[in-house]
Amino acid sequence: MEFVPFDASEDEVAARQVLRSGVPTSMRAPITNWIWHQMASPQGFVKPYAMHTIENNLDISFGFDSTFTGVLEKKVFLTLLGKRDARNLLRIADWLLAQAGSRGTKHIALQAVLRQGRSQYEVVLRDSSYRLALRLPEGVQAAAEQVMDLGTPGTLLRRAWSKLYDIDPDPSGAYSAAVKAVEAAALPALGISRPTATISDAVRAIERREATWRLPFKREHTEYLSRDVLLGMLKSLYRGQRDRHGSDAYSDVTPEEAEAAVLMAVPLVGWFARGLIEERDVATFG
């Protein structure tokens, strides 16, 4: 829980609930100091090869001559970092996290800085290392994490989630992985085993005249049956993937489209993977 001053007004309390983008002024010193502690030698300086390695990996420049062989003391190092924009500063922190892997406790101090500063970023464990990612409301994150543990569909959903909320997001990749996650959950649940089957095959299976696929509600809305809601979500997800095929009017999906797709995939994967979508007796269900 973030700290709220004892005498904060309602407006101040509300403002402190909003996550802050980039690297606000109050966070720059804590983040640059964290970077210093990850890179400094026991003797209290940073060697030039460490700076060149970051330049090479992140395509940024600290303005060094390639022949520079001196060492950087803390004051000079922090001055150089202070000139970096928020994006590059966060990328440096993210790269250092990735190099440290999943062992140790280096990530804890950075997570504390981000939490205390109400940053929109947080430290997450991804595959074999800690990384930076966009921070979501805890309820949304917790619900998604439960679904991500559901076998292959969950693994694909986790991939979509990572591509979407990574510090360098990949909207098209996130949307594609979300579709694959839904296919991996829906097709087996619907009895479809054809290797080339897609969401459109799932839609046709549910739309069959004699089919009674639905959620386990014993009381349904007369105009919006769970079957129809399910079909609407599947069709929207499939149709919305505009970049699935090339054309003269091709364009990548937007970050907003990708986020909608990934968040839509969470309940779909959960319903299918947990067996909540079945052919049910209409007289009993609905």
Does residue 200 fall inside a structural domain?
A: yes
Helix (H) or strand (E) holding 131: strand 129-134
Are 155 and 127 in the same domain? no
Does residue 3 fall inside a structural domain?
A: no
Interacting residues of 62 by C-beta distance below 8 A, sequence separation 6+? 51, 54, 55, 80
Beta bridge partners of 279: 213
| Strand, helix or coil for residue 20 | strand
pLDDT tens, residue by residue, 93-137 = 999 999 988 888 889 999 999 999 989 899 988 878 899 988 877
Which DSSP state fits 129?
A: E
Are 164 and 274 in the same domain? yes
Helix (H) or strand (E) holding 272: helix 255-273
Is a pLDDT exceeding 80 seen at residue 2? Answer: no
CATH code for the domain of 189: 1.20.120
Q: Which residue has the higher pLDDT, 202 or 243?
A: 202
Interacting residues of 103 by C-beta distance below 8 A, sequence separation 6+? none
| Strand, helix or coil for residue 23 | coil
Residue 24 and residue 215: Cα distance in Å, rounded?
46
Residue 232 and residue 218: Cα distance in Å, rounded?
20
Is a pLDDT exceeding 80 seen at residue 209? Answer: yes
The mean of the pLDDT values for the chain is: 89
Is a pLDDT exceeding 80 seen at residue 53? Answer: yes
Q: Which two tokens stand for residue 28?
A: 């720059």
Are 164 and 264 in the same domain? yes
Q: CA-CA distances (angstroms) from residue 158 to 129, 140, 148, 254, 264?
A: 15, 14, 6, 19, 13
Does residue 56 fall inside a structural domain?
A: yes
Total-model pTM: 0.76
Instruction: Report the number of distinct structural domains present in the chain.
Output: 2
